Amino acid sequence: AQTVTQSQPEMSVQEAETVTLSCTYDTSESDYYLFWYKQPPSRQMILVIRQEAYKQQNATENRFSVNFQKAAKSFSLKISDSQLGDAAMYFCAYSNGGATNKLIFGTGTLLAVQP
């Protein structure tokens, strides 16, 4: 069965600095999708960035980028120029696509941004 592991329960970063959140996963599939979701306090979960496993190029969305290491099964999220609004729980998620495309989530990393 596929699993997703986030080994950092909490992280803290100074405003305007850069922080990297770690994620590893386990799968025997060769084709799959990886996601980072952000869940602000008392607000709904939103997609931050996604990566298709068949793409070698790391995904980038403005201040957010990933370091996707397929052989190592690692998928880290880098947030540059951190802003107060980045404070949230961040979840790494995996999907093998397939008929349902259901998501398998890690346990999350709570990111605090210090002014």
Partner 1 sequence: DTGVSQDPRHKITKRGQNVTFRCDPISEHNRLYWYRQTLGQGPEFLTYFQNEAQLEKSRLLSDRFSAERPKGSFSTLEIQRTEQGDSAMYLCASSPNSPLDYEQYFGPGTRLTVT
d(C-alpha 67, C-alpha 54), whole Å: 14
Q: Which stretch binds partner 1 (CB under 8 A): 11-19, 43-51, 56-64, 73-81?
A: 43-51
Residues 86-105 that bind partner 1 (CB under 8 A): 91, 93, 95, 97, 99-105
The 8-class DSSP code of residue 13 comes to E
Residue among 10 and 15 whose Cβ is closer to partner 1: 10
State yes or no: residue 7 binds partner 1 (CB under 8 A).
no
d(C-alpha 38, C-alpha 27), whole Å: 23
d(C-alpha 35, C-alpha 5), whole Å: 13
Site string for partner 1, 56-85 (x = CB under 8 A): ------------------------------
State yes or no: residue 107 binds partner 1 (CB under 8 A).
yes
Phi-psi map region of 99: left, alpha, beta (phi>0 left; psi -120 to 50 alpha): alpha
State the pairing for strand pair 88-95/24-26: unpaired
User: Which residues of this chain interact with partner 1, rule CB under 8 A?
Assistant: 4, 33, 37, 43-47, 50, 91, 93, 95, 97, 99-108
